A and B are shown apart, each in its own frame.
Chain A
């Protein structure tokens, strides 16, 4: 027993307080997931109506809008990386960043240069630490994104996309890497192309049997499209942010649950060792006493002889 009983007790105590912290974080994450899912649900009607409207315009006018136009010879791509602001969420941010590296490799193979746009402090830290350049970053909202942030990011990306080829800061396509929330247990990092827009994809496309009515457009189809498409882009970004937020919380809950379990395990182990050390101490004391008594008895017997 190299370490004394006292030290084991101290270790057990610190592990116990750590367990309390991780347990608290687990519970907080669990309660926030529900809120995050509700937020995603509340945002769904907007996305659905917007998709319907965009597909309505797209079906009745020849969609040729700057936001849907494919560049003939794409040279630069923008990648929006959505990670968390805080850690303690297991591999959440690092798996997003891994996906980013994969996508970047693919884009580079296609001969494109890449401009990075970052959301979340973890992505920012990753790029800064490696001294890799990025165009812009937004932080401080990862677990409850607001629409305003999504609109701001959307504007920045649309601006970059609409610039002419050769202009400073121009990109020819825009990709998003975020974590899709499949269920409480499964969240997967996903890369999707946002721009140029492929109209009529979206989360809830109108059913086939549902004929779209013949709309009158005011002021004109192209102007309506002008107004709609940027909002559509922003709503897609908002959707990604919401999914990422729910995923982050789920990942954090999972990580904190296993941390709590590990702490429990550790406490059990330490308690066992501490008990052993305590018993060893007692045994030693007894044998010392017995030894002392025996020695005394021997000494007395020798004196009596």
Chain B
């Protein structure tokens, strides 16, 4: 971080995926794709400093030097990029592997049933959808 001159292009993109109570994932990445409130955002190396609010959606991190993709469902929060350092903060973050597809499906059904009941329901649907998508992405990636 201290060495920002010259060496910038040899630096990899360092990503920290941080939930309120733990660091979910941290490491170097080739690319980060996240959905902000304005639309999808892809972050490559040497991205301009930015601070964006995230929506309840899936975040994908392409791990540097491998074909691995880390998929996680975030619950709002925000993303900040500066000096080749990306921090994704959200109150709740779950990795795709940690999510059970059937359970996520059941939750989505439940949340859909609640729509109209209160304001919270819509958020819950979006969150359940994000979790389901993250879980499905991981399981489909594994079967290929």
Contacts and interface: CB of A to CB of B under 8 A. Distances in A.
B20 A218 contact: no
Contacts of A150: 20
Interface in A190-228: 210, 212-219, 223-224, 227-228
Interface of B: 1-2, 16, 18-23, 36-38, 41, 48-53, 76-78, 80, 82-83, 87, 89, 91-92
A42 B78 contact: no
A215 B22 contact: no
A45 interface: yes
A215 B18 contact: no
Residue among A49, A52, A212 with most chain B CB within 10 A: A49
**Chain A interface, >50% SS class:** helix
A46 B1 contact: no
A213 B48 CA distance: 9
A266 interface: no
A218 B89 contact: no
Nearest to B88: A49
A58 to B, nearest CB: 12
Contact of B51 (A43, A46, A224, A231): A224
A218 B36 contact: yes
B91 A45 contact: no
Nearest to B54: A227
Contacts of A231: 77, 89, 91
A215 B53 contact: no
A22 to B, nearest CB: 31
Given A46-B21, A56-B80, A213-B82, A151 B52 contact: no
Nearest to A145: B21
B89 A223 contact: no
A165 B80 CA distance: 35
B53 A45 contact: no
Contact of A39 (B19, B21, B37): B21
A244 to B, nearest CB: 15
Contacts of A238: 20-21
A31 interface: no
Contacts of A227: 53, 76, 78
A8 interface: no
Interface string A40-72: 001101100110110011000000000000000
Given A42-B23, A46-B18, A49-B89, A216 B50 contact: yes
Contacts of A52: 80, 87
